[in-house]
Amino acid sequence: MNQLDAAAVFAAVFVALSVAHNVGDHWVQTHSQAEAKALPGWTGRLACSRHCLSLTLTKGAFLAPVILGLHLPVTVPGLLLGLGIDAGTHYWADRRTTLKRLADRCRKAEFYSLGTSAHPEHPVAAKGAYAPTLGTGAYALDQSWHLLWLFVAALLIATV
């Protein structure tokens, strides 16, 4: 495969993985998985594993028509390696304590807490009480971590 073909495969795979990630992480993930995946012990591990499995299956469902419909020269080892690394790194981050420790080590602890009651300038309602928000620093760091590994996965899928 020449460089131009590899670049086209990378682009198509990255787009498919990115869309599938958003669908899988927000629409396919169940409420119980989202609530339990960071819990300690086997309850959290199993919930996070189920989430990562459903997310990987979603990515496969998005990749299949792209690869087959566009006749992309993708190998099974490349697919397994790319999706495997993506699933493993997704699991790692979604256990939460791991990503929090990384944020702390990278001096991003204050940003990690942004939008939560733990942040010194947390959002407040009109009466001064904490106002929960979906836009947290933890969420931004989580999603950017996943995007980094989607990039790596797409590169592996396109080149292995």
Tally of domains in the chain: 1
- The parent domain of residue 11 ranges over 3-159
- 3-state secondary structure string across 43-80: HHHHHHHHHHHHHHHHHHHHHHHHHHHCCCCCCHHHHH
Instruction: State the pLDDT confidence band at 112, using cuts at 50, 70 and 90.
Output: confident
**What pLDDT score does 114 carry?**
76
Q: pLDDT tens digits for 84-95?
A: 999 999 999 999
Angle at 110 between CA 48 and CA 100, to 5 degrees: 25
For 137-146, write each residue's pLDDT tens digit: 889 899 999 9
Report the chain's mean pLDDT, rounded to a whole number: 91
Which percentage of the chain shows pLDDT scores above 90?
Answer: 76
* N-to-C CA span, the chain: 11
**Cβ–Cβ < 8 Å for 74, 2:** no
List the alpha helices (DSSP H) in 71-136.
76-94, 97-105, 109-113
**How confident is the model over 11-61, as pLDDT tens digits?**
999 999 999 999 999 999 999 999 999 999 999 999 999 999 999 999 999
Distance CA 39, CA 43 (A): 7
For 122, other C-beta atoms within 10 Å of its C-beta total 16
